[in-house]
Amino acid sequence: MKIEKNAIPALKNIPHWFDIVSDKNGNAFTGLRAYRQLALEDFNRLGFPNKKMEKWRHTDLSASLSFDYSLATQDFNMQDVLSDVFECDVHDLESFVVNLYKGRFVFKENNLFTLPKGVIVGSLSAAFDQYPELIEKHFGKYGKTDKNAFHALNSALFLDGLFVYVPKNVIVEKPLQLINAVGASDDVLVQNRNLIVLEEGSQLTLIHCDDSYNYKRSFTNSLTEVFIGANASLDHYRLQNINNNSTLISSLVVEQERNAQLSTNSIILNGGLIRNETYTKLNGEGANASILGVYLADKNQHIDNQVFVDHAVPNCTSNELFKGILDDYARAVFNGHILVRKDAQKTLAYQNNANIILTDKAVINTKPFLEIYADDVKCSHGATVGQLDENALFYIRQRGISEDNARMLLMYAFAADVTQEIKIDSLRDRIEDMVKKRLRGELSICDQCVLQCSSPEKYNFEIDMSKI
């Protein structure tokens, strides 16, 4: 045990980092120091996950953890940051953009805004000062520091992240875009913490982008806690395009009240090692969760999606669909777990994971899993792994379409089941464009979510007749 722990350079630094972080915003909110302390103890007990653990059996972190990362704690020169962060403009997506820089919240002027109708958007650490009662009610209530090492580590070491509060019955029209860009310095370790609170009857669209600016190595551990009140709805996207040297652990932990709607869609375009964990507790009747994802991986990339849906009460629905295309030596893991508790009668729960494997070296480990204690439920799960359909390829080529484009069309169509569910038109166009680029091997790390330096290229099969 000892030897294994010592092999991870980050471990020796954690106590030191903990001291720095505690000093920085330890006094803002009275409970925070104690919370951090407990989280640190939890982490020390749990340690970094290893392959002996059931949930980590197919995801090996040892390479990612073998570097001597430095935690992004230092304050930085705003001017440098801004020129980096605001280099690109959003084209046609009308959105409210907030930027995280090395896990810290940056904005041109203020760092915590009150938008019309009382919507609060901005720095979580500023919110600790200004809205202690909201923090008290929701912060740390959904993430599990005692069971999840990365939740614990994040809780012990985070400095900042996004805070959003949407009051009762307020509909936020513009999508909110959170951009976490890494790459400013070498071997940076980012602990990003976000809290999203949607009061009863409110609505929000949140796009969470994780991007790289360059090829510098980084390790991001992000934890987003979400409360969706009764009849409220969250439309959530994770767009991930980080470089092959970087690791991203991204957790979304949601609690849904009566009739609360969650739609979350992960678009995983590139990354050295990416693990997305999505937890939702359907805690009020009529709640519905739609959890989708598409992952495209090649070279030595490793993509892991873990989903846990907790049907705690009757009459809730959940729908999971994850689709992946793996090339070269890429590996992917899907672990879907639906828990239907004893009281959760009339549950509808679907789960599907479909994969296309382009080489015999690519590997997928998929485990859809149902755990049902109620008797009057409709649940299904399934997983498929296959190649591109040879008959379809021939049919397409017979019409004069080159083999490369025929393969592209089929792969693109496969991914489209997920991407076409993106509800914002301009975002869907942008993402579909990025998927095409990715499949063609033309996606660069400069293609940052909806932030785009160059105008999107047009491909010959890309045409949306409804727009002509």
Partner 1 sequence: MLLQVKNLHVSINGKEILKGVNLEVNKGEVHAIMGPNGTGKSTLAAVIAGKSGYEITQGEILYNGKNLLDMPPEVRAQEGIFLGFQYPVEIPGVSMTNFMRTALNEIRKYHGQEPMSAKDFLARMTEKKDLVELTSKLTNRSVNEGFSGGEKKKNEIFQMAMLDPQLAILDETDSGLDIDALRIVAHGVNKLKTTENATVVITHYQRLLDYIVPDFVHVLFEGKVVLSGGKELALELEEKGYDWIKKETENH
For position 395 contacting partner 1 by CB under 8 A, the verdict is yes
* Beta-sheet pairing, 112-114 with 120-123: antiparallel
15/386 with CB nearer partner 1: 386
**Amino acid type, 431:** I
Interface pick for partner 1 out of 394, 423, 444, 457 (rule CB under 8 A): 394
For position 425 contacting partner 1 by CB under 8 A, the verdict is no
Interface pick for partner 1 out of 244, 401, 421, 428 (rule CB under 8 A): 401
Query: What sign has the CA pseudo-torsion 147, 149, 154, 157?
Result: positive
For position 413 contacting partner 1 by CB under 8 A, the verdict is yes
For position 397 contacting partner 1 by CB under 8 A, the verdict is yes
Shortest spacing between CB 394 and partner 1, in angstroms: 5
For position 417 contacting partner 1 by CB under 8 A, the verdict is yes
For position 295 contacting partner 1 by CB under 8 A, the verdict is no
Count of alpha carbons within 13 angstroms of residue 308, beta-carbon side: 13
For position 431 contacting partner 1 by CB under 8 A, the verdict is no
Residues whose CB falls within 8 Å of the CB of residue 230, separated by 6 or more in sequence, listed in order: 200, 201, 257, 258, 259, 260, 284
Candidate ranges 30-38, 360-368, 375-383, 458-466; the one touching partner 1 (CB under 8 A):
458-466
For position 416 contacting partner 1 by CB under 8 A, the verdict is yes
With beta carbons less than 8 A apart as the criterion, state whether 159 and 104 touch: yes
| CA-wise closest residue to 168 among 231, 242, 262 | 231
Shortest spacing between CB 393 and partner 1, in angstroms: 9
Interface pick for partner 1 out of 398, 441, 454, 455 (rule CB under 8 A): 398
With beta carbons less than 8 A apart as the criterion, state whether 455 and 433 touch: no
For position 405 contacting partner 1 by CB under 8 A, the verdict is yes
Interface pick for partner 1 out of 54, 77, 375, 400 (rule CB under 8 A): 400
Interface pick for partner 1 out of 386, 392, 425, 453 (rule CB under 8 A): 392
| CA-wise closest residue to 309 among 401, 247, 381 | 381
Shortest spacing between CB 391 and partner 1, in angstroms: 5
1/465 with CB nearer partner 1: 465
Shortest spacing between CB 240 and partner 1, in angstroms: 22
For position 414 contacting partner 1 by CB under 8 A, the verdict is yes
Shortest spacing between CB 401 and partner 1, in angstroms: 5
- d(CA 245, CA 272) in angstroms, rounded, equals 5
Whole-angstrom Cα Rg for the chain: 22
For position 402 contacting partner 1 by CB under 8 A, the verdict is yes
With beta carbons less than 8 A apart as the criterion, state whether 446 and 227 touch: no
What is each CA distance from 415 to 93, 430, 457, 463, in whole angstroms?
22, 14, 19, 17
- d(CA 263, CA 258) in angstroms, rounded, equals 15
Shortest spacing between CB 406 and partner 1, in angstroms: 8
For position 296 contacting partner 1 by CB under 8 A, the verdict is no
| CA-wise closest residue to 269 among 450, 51, 32, 13 | 450
Residues whose CB falls within 8 Å of the CB of residue 52, separated by 6 or more in sequence, listed in order: none
Interface pick for partner 1 out of 215, 369, 373, 461 (rule CB under 8 A): 461
For position 68 contacting partner 1 by CB under 8 A, the verdict is no
Within 350-389, the residues that bind partner 1 by CB under 8 A are 389
What is each CA distance from 297 to 155, 300, 330, 362, 434, in whole angstroms?
30, 8, 6, 9, 13
Candidate ranges 29-37, 236-244, 280-288, 456-464; the one touching partner 1 (CB under 8 A):
456-464
Neighbours of 335 (CB within 10 A): 22
For position 457 contacting partner 1 by CB under 8 A, the verdict is no
For position 412 contacting partner 1 by CB under 8 A, the verdict is yes
Count of alpha carbons within 13 angstroms of residue 56, beta-carbon side: 15
Residues that bind partner 1 (CB under 8 A): 389, 391-392, 394-403, 405-406, 409-410, 412-414, 416-417, 460-463, 465, 468
